[in-house]
Structure 1
Amino acid sequence: MQAPQVIQVNQQNFHEVIQSSATTPILFYFWAPMSQESEELLPHIQQLAQKYAGAVQLAMLNCQEEQTIAGQFGIQALPTIAMFVNGQPVDGLAGPQPLDAIEAMLTRHLPSQDERDAKQALQFVQDNQHAQALGLLQALSEEWQQRGDIKLAMADCFLESGQFEQAATLLSAIPLEYQDNYYTGLCAKLELHQNAANSPELQALEDSYAHNPQDAELANKLATSYHEVARDEEALQLLWSFLQKDLNALEGDLKKTFMDILSALGQGNPLASRYRRLLYSRLY
């Protein structure tokens, strides 16, 4: 992991750097080559800034070269660390400090890991990067996952990945104050799926199979239709009822449909993993 970009503060950019703390907090590090302690601490400061990447900007001032600015700050000990937010100093530490004291200062003024991850996830959703967003959302603490905006974002991700049951569960538990246009749109998307999943055509195919439960070709068509509307568990269960007796049923077409569905679900899908184990147990 690369160290974050460091702003080298001087007379030309000093005021600009201070003003930039209105959008991103600035961690000011006052040091000098003549101070061994300040040089030794610098790599650790950079590591801390990397840990809070995106939430804080690291700025360094060489007090030996920029004595005027150092004097304006009244720097009397090296290293000195100062936190700037909205153009104002809000906290600081003077002299050599243990890392946990510096991190405690950052924690007081910067968003938590959950808050940063949630913000990143919500941006991913806006950018239609739902897979990346879902990973971050599912890693949030239980407290954060109970928030209405997080539930909506997770429901959105589940809909995009075809996990409709999980989406329905979340949408049924959205607090009233979050039932806005975004919520209405997600509900409409879920309803479209539910209507397709129980279409007259699919029901007719189910009726035909119910009257001909030994018809492998009909079972293959029904399983394919189930998969098309994300009813994958029913599709795999139906196919497996034939494959567990004969892996070459319908001249191998059932097995091909079975494997195609597993492939579409992906390696990390729990349902796919369960049926892969069943298939391997039958093969070996």
Structure 2
Amino acid sequence: MLVNGDAAPAGELVKDTTTQGFRQDVIAESMNQPVLVDFWAPWCGPCKQLTPVIEKAVRDARGKVKLVKMNIDEHPAIAGQLGIQSIPAVIAFQRGQPVDGFMGAQPESQIKAFIDRIAGPAGPSPVEEVLAAAAEAAEQGDAAGASQLYAEVLAAEPENLTAIAGLARLHLDAGDLEGAKGFLAMVPEAKANDKAQDKAIAAIRAAIELAEQAASLGDTAGLEARIAADPNDHEARFDLAIALNAGGRRGEAVDQLIAIIKADRAWNDQAARKQLLQFFEAWGPMDEQSVAGRRKLSTVLFS
């Protein structure tokens, strides 16, 4: 059962120490895994900037390293022995010895790189492992198993966008458009209109929009008859592309839109090109038809 996103409780990864506790908390503990010692003081502004960043980086490392904090106003001896003259200063200990360190507040990216250098990159988190298992179950057609795994993630992380998108996709694939829209509504308001926040959310939003468009079109026979009577009926060809996509005939949908672009690239404010891009977003960038469709679009636009 997934309890949270950390491999170990936060209290075991970050703690304060004293001069008396230093030998056990740092020297002895560094025999098991690297220990970062953060030397700080209450009056130090950069220390206050560093604290939340380094604590987050240590927790994200999921047990690869531990963080021990030492207030040098209350416990100056160790810092003096190590020759530390300015703070914040972070010293990494391995096998009882100081092996590396840095001074001053640092951005999260540099702290993570420091931890990776000391302890190696962290593996996938428990949440990431469950999400991967859910995606694999969905790909194999086990919708019930995938749904259960995504729900487990949401129980631990109610705003996990990948799990929300995964459940919405399962409902959409099952023909439950309203159910899919219901899960999409779970996206936090601050992220609801920001497609850059998560590609999976952007993809399912695009797929839902396409499904809603297709629902109003009916079958393809009437559209195909209109195109047979007038090959330049771009509106019918455009609607046919949407209907074909809804029926899983992605390659044919791409070809209909490419035909419009070849005939009249500017038609309806480049609607065919924009619709193709929405297809690619809904299918995902590595989908076989997305790759092939982008190639065809590039050939038309740049030949």
Q: With structure 1 as the length reference, what TM-score do the two structures score?
A: 0.41
Rg larger in structure: 1
Q: With structure 2 as the length reference, what TM-score do the two structures score?
A: 0.39
